Chains A and B, each alone.
Chain A
Amino acid sequence: MKVRVDVMLKTGVLDPQGEAVRHALGNLGFDGVEKVRQGKVIELDVAEGTSEETIKDMCDKLLANTVIENYAIQVL
């Protein structure tokens, strides 16, 4: 069973990398990019039937730092 976890900085937490990407896009001539947020995608191959609760536990304990990051779980 494949699971995809998206980890993003929480709204309100300044994302300096996203900001740098936004600037670079502007320099390339792409106008109108108002905001860029950069995050991570983590793909897991887990045993069939692994509960969403277990995946959440993985996110809380390791995959995301919930002080500054949010995560979203998607079973593929």
Chain B
Amino acid sequence: MKAGVLVFPGSNCDRDLAVAFERAGADVTMIWHKETDLPEDLDIVGVPGGFSFGDYLRCGAIAAQSPITKSLIRHTERGGYAIGICNGFQVLTETGILPGALMRNANLKFICKPVGLKVENTDNAFLSGYSEGQELLVPVAHHDGNYNVTDEKLAQLKSEGRIAFTYTDNPNGSSGNIAGVISKNRRVLGMMPHPERCVDEMHGGTDGVAMFRSLVDAVVAA
């Protein structure tokens, strides 16, 4: 199973994400944003957290225009797997790969703490290692994680089973308490919390392990 992790100027969770993939058994390639093509045999692309391009204009807006991102869009259009975490989620919404937008937290504060998440849907390669309704403790670290969608879109996401996680205690004002969403073909996940920051006892928790493991298993089996 081959994973690629995109690296933008200002990414700062790229190596953590690489380690999380490696621990789950994937071969990982780091890919600089100026590359125009992803390696051909990649199974999954990870878009890491951080502050790509200093969050200038809007979080993720400039990274969404990077050369490698065009190739990421083609990868997802071909049905390739991708995961965007934190700033990576913001990049995925800015490209339109995932719906909605991430706005400034409702309380205007940068929030950095472990939060409770509820697994809402397990019918996808990312969350098949959890059970529906399971509660996890996963760190968040963001200023702009207030997920915004119209009521209409929210209803659609619900009815299509595309809400991956909700917050048990909404920290940022997100519509429908949403912490993560899945693409229509169920192969792209975007989430604000950091599963790669809870894959080792020394991280203070290991609730993220099952995500990387089930993802690797699913892709290997496919």
In the complex, how many angstroms separate the beta carbon of B96 from the nearest chain A beta carbon? 9
B148 touches A16 (CB 8 A): no
Question: Within 8 Å CB of B94, what residues of A?
Answer: 65
A interface, CB within 8 angstroms of B: 9, 13-14, 16-17, 20, 61-63, 65, 67-68
A16 touches B105 (CB 8 A): yes
A67 touches B57 (CB 8 A): no
Q: Which of B55-106 contact A (CB under 8 A)?
A: 57-58, 61, 65, 93-94, 99-101, 103-106
Question: Within 8 Å CB of A9, what residues of B?
Answer: 103
Q: Which of B57, B93, B103 is in CB contact (< 8 Å) with A13? A: B103
Q: Which 9 A-B pairs have the closest CB atoms?
A: A67-B101, A68-B101, A16-B106, A65-B101, A16-B104, A16-B108, A20-B108, A68-B148, A65-B58
Interface SS of chain B: helix, strand, loop or mixed?
loop
B108 touches A67 (CB 8 A): no
How many residues of chain B have a CB within 8 Å of chain A? 18
Q: Report if B173 contacts A (CB, 8 A).
A: yes
Q: How far is A20 from B107 in the complex, measured between Cα atoms in Å?
A: 9
Question: Within 8 Å CB of B58, what residues of A?
Answer: 65
Q: How far is A13 from B173 in the complex, measured between Cα atoms in Å?
A: 12
B104 touches A17 (CB 8 A): yes
Question: Within 8 Å CB of B93, what residues of A?
Answer: 67
Q: Report if B146 contacts A (CB, 8 A).
A: yes
CB-nearest residue of chain B to A68 = B101
Question: Within 8 Å CB of B173, what residues of A?
Answer: 14, 16
CB-nearest residue of chain A to B94 = A65
Q: How far is A45 from B58 in the complex, measured between Cα atoms in Å?
A: 21
Question: Within 8 Å CB of B100, what residues of A?
Answer: 67
Question: Within 8 Å CB of A13, what residues of B?
Answer: 103, 148
Question: Within 8 Å CB of B65, what residues of A?
Answer: 61-62
Q: Which of A20, A61, A62, A67 is in CB contact (< 8 Å) with B148? A: A67
Q: How far is A14 from B175 in the complex, measured between Cα atoms in Å?
A: 11
Residue from A16, A62, A67 having most chain B Cβ neighbours under 10 A: A67
Query: 9 A-B pairs, CB-CB below 8 angstroms?
Result: A13-B103, A16-B104, A16-B108, A16-B146, A20-B108, A61-B65, A62-B61, A62-B65, A67-B99
In the complex, how many angstroms separate the beta carbon of A8 from the nearest chain B beta carbon? 13
Q: How far is A74 from B68 in the complex, measured between Cα atoms in Å?
A: 33
Question: Within 8 Å CB of B108, what residues of A?
Answer: 16-17, 20
Q: How far is A73 from B58 in the complex, measured between Cα atoms in Å?
A: 19
Q: How far is A13 from B105 in the complex, measured between Cα atoms in Å?
A: 13
